Amino acid sequence: MKKIPLTSVTSGLGIEILPDLYCLSVQIANVCFIGDPRQTNEFILIDAGMPDSAGLIIEEAKNRFGEDCKLISIILTHGHFDHIGALQELLEKWNVPVYAHSLEEPYLTGKENYPPPNKDIPGLVAKMSPLFPRHSIDVSSNLHILPPSGKLPSLPGWEYIHTPGHTPGHISLFRENDRVLIAGDAFTNVEQESLY
């Protein structure tokens, strides 16, 4: 899988958003670890980063949850290349369920590629988007489709919200009691037309 010549200045840095929510920046994507390391060595991963980032994600998991850390499941906000880049390598280490929305299923089972991007809309990211890999991967042996109820298996207190647009089956994750939201690519806080 080819890489793209873009990175964030925060790549490789992690931020503890809450005691049980840690976000790691991986080149241009974010991976979130859910689990409180003061209470458990088990964690759930939201998204699976860029290609070639499995080593970084595993190292960060060990730093946070200990050498014997245990991944319980992976929940994908969607299946774009920068969210599934390390997925197959992570599944080789931890053979766990992968959860995604039913409308992302064709892109996670090798059935369909994402449609070509529209490079004519303004912004650097749009201009570069034809370079982005958009082919489907096949993780069907681990894939589980999320229940329509909005409940997230093994994440009590959290729900998912279908937030299509960026991709057909894009989801965001929400926890009512502290109103924390993991928005995936449904939200951006950088200027898409600026190189910096």
Q: Is 20 in the site for Zn ion (CB under 5 A)?
A: no
Q: Is 170 in the site for Zn ion (CB under 5 A)?
A: no
Give me the least distance between CB of 63 and Zn ion, in Å please.
Answer: 27
By beta carbon distance, the residue nearest Zn ion is: 80
Q: How far is residue 180's CA from residue 52's CA, in Å, rounded to a whole number?
A: 29
**170 versus 175: smaller Cβ distance to Zn ion:** 170
Q: Is 185 in the site for Zn ion (CB under 5 A)?
A: yes
Q: Specify the stretch interacting with Zn ion by CB under 5 A; choose among 27-35, 123-131, 140-148, 181-189.
A: 181-189
- List of long-range contacts for 14-18, beta carbons under 8 Å, 24+ apart: 14/60, 14/64, 17/180, 18/178, 18/180
Q: Specify the stretch interacting with Zn ion by CB under 5 A; choose among 6-14, 128-136, 150-158, 184-192.
A: 184-192
Residues 6 or more apart from 172 whose CB is under 8 A from it? Answer: 77, 160, 161, 163, 181, 182, 183, 184, 186
Give me the least distance between CB of 70 and Zn ion, in Å please.
Answer: 28
Give me the least distance between CB of 77 and Zn ion, in Å please.
Answer: 8
Q: How far is residue 44's CA from residue 66's CA, in Å, rounded to a whole number?
A: 14
Q: Is 101 in the site for Zn ion (CB under 5 A)?
A: no
Q: Read out DSSP for 74-106?
A: EE-S---HHHHTTHHHHHHHS---EEE-GGGHH
**60 versus 185: smaller Cβ distance to Zn ion:** 185
Q: How far is residue 112's CA from residue 53's CA, in Å, rounded to a whole number?
A: 24
Residues 46-85 that bind Zn ion (CB under 5 A): 80
**43 versus 114: smaller Cβ distance to Zn ion:** 114
Give me the least distance between CB of 163 and Zn ion, in Å please.
Answer: 12
Q: Give residue for tokens 């010549």.
A: 5
Q: Which residues of the chain form contacts with Zn ion (CB under 5 A)?
A: 80, 185
